[in-house]
Structure formats: structure tokens, C-alpha cells
Amino acid sequence: MLPAFSLAPEASLSASAYRAFEAAWAARDPDLLPAGVARWHFLQWLAGQGFLLHGSAQANLTRFEPRTPHDLSADDFSKRTGVFAASDGLWAMMYALRDRVRTARMLNMAVQVRQEGGWSPTGYFLSLAPRRPLHLGGPALLVPGWVYVLPRTGFEPMPPYDWPGLGRVREPHWVSAQAAVPLLRVPVGPADFPLPVHTHDAATVDARAHANPWGFPWGVGEGT
């Protein structure tokens, strides 16, 4: 795993928390989620049940239409026109929590590396590029948002691929060429996100990405 990546915190939830997850899902009511349990746990539980997740700043979406994203990564999958979703709650939260008013760009990833005997734990990375110089840390550029729960029907996963210098990797990245209708929306806030949030200069990273497409995260979070 690359040094700048972080792992999700280890957590041991009670049986009552999982019963609350089941009740909230059955009722399609996030208000039934247990107090004091960060929402990312519920989202990871949903992903474990086979659902996909899509983060957004918009609160009232009832249908997702295919679109072509702005993407700096080297793979073609991430540049396809479609509805994108994740089988990972923390990755989806990055899209939900980004302050689009104060940030010009987001640099993020969730990835596993093939190891002997299976796949590594998922490594995460998130950095935000302010629209103008701000004396703020990355977490201050997060705002409340929403994670939408989608069925897997019509979606296809991103195939594993070879990352030069890192090996065989896979991302919890899915796409559908067709529109998708959400099953539930879950409100999330900055306090629910347990991972580091870096900052970077958008123009600098864009230039580094064009020069070296496989250089992610292009010095961000690595002391350069």
C-alpha cells in the first residue's frame, strides 16, 4: 500500500447496533440508527449486504442519470459515461462531504492490493483543493451531505488492474450505463468521517498527473 493511504479504524460494534441497522434498513428510516455510532459503520454494513452507495451534496435526488466525470486517473473505467457508485461506505462519503463551494477539486481513492492469500485491507486517500488560498485544514472543508443507497442491478464492477510499482489492485468502483433510482438516502456529517483529509493545489496536481498518470497521489500527503 502507498504510504499516504490510511486504513479504516478498527471497530467492534455491539449486537444492538447491528439490530438497529437492520431496523433502520427495514423501515427505510435513518432516524432509527443508534446515537453515538458514526454513520460510516451503517454504510459499510449496507455495502456488506450487497448494496451500492453514491455520495452527493444534494438532498432530494430521486434518480441518477449517466454522466461523464472529470477524472485524472490512468484507467479508462473511471472516465466512462454512466452512473457511478461504490461498494464501500467511506469512499462514497468522500463525495457526500466535499464542500463544492470552497473546493475546486477532489483527489481521492479506495484501493486493495493483491497479496499472497487474498486482498489487502482497503486503503483510503482524500485530499481537497481549495478554490482560493485558505488557512484551513482539510477537515474544515467538509460539510454535511447525503449517501444514497442503490441496488446493484445494472451495475458492473471495475475489473482488477495492474498498478506499476504497486501490483495487482482493485477498487470498490461500479458503473451503470443506465439511470438508477435510490432505495434510501442517509444523512452524513463531517464528524462521521474517521480518516485524514489532506489539501493540495489543483494546478500543481493536474500538471503532475499529466506528466505521470500512475503517480497518484502526486506528492500530496507524502511530505512533498
CA-CA distances (angstroms) from residue 105 to 126, 129, 130, 201, 204? Answer: 11, 5, 7, 9, 12
pTM of the model: 0.91
pLDDT confidence of 224, banded at 50, 70, 90?
A: very low
- Strands (E) located in 11-151: 52-56, 83-86, 103-115, 118-119, 123-130, 145-150
User: What's the whole-number average pLDDT of the chain?
Assistant: 92
Nearest to 98 by CA among 219, 8, 170, 198: 198
Q: How many residues does the chain have?
A: 224
pLDDT tens, 115-145? Answer: 998 999 999 999 999 987 767 789 999 999 9
Amino acid identity of residue 49, one-letter, is Q
User: What's the pLDDT at 135?
Assistant: 74
| 14-41: average pLDDT | 96
Is 7:110 a contact under the CB 8 Å cutoff? no
The whole-number pLDDT of residue 70 equals 67
**Amino acid making up residue 97:** L
Share of the chain above pLDDT 90, in %: 79
For 38-91, the pLDDT digits (tens) are 999 999 999 999 999 999 999 999 999 998 876 656 667 777 789 999 999 999
Per domain, the residue ranges of the chain are: 39-69+79-211
Distance from C-alpha of 169 to C-alpha of 113, rounded to nearest angstrom: 4
Burial 177-195 (b: 16+ CB within 10 A, else e): eeebebebbbebebebbeb
Question: Cα separation of 144 and 164, whole Å?
Answer: 36
Answer with the residue of higher pLDDT: 223 or 144.
Answer: 144
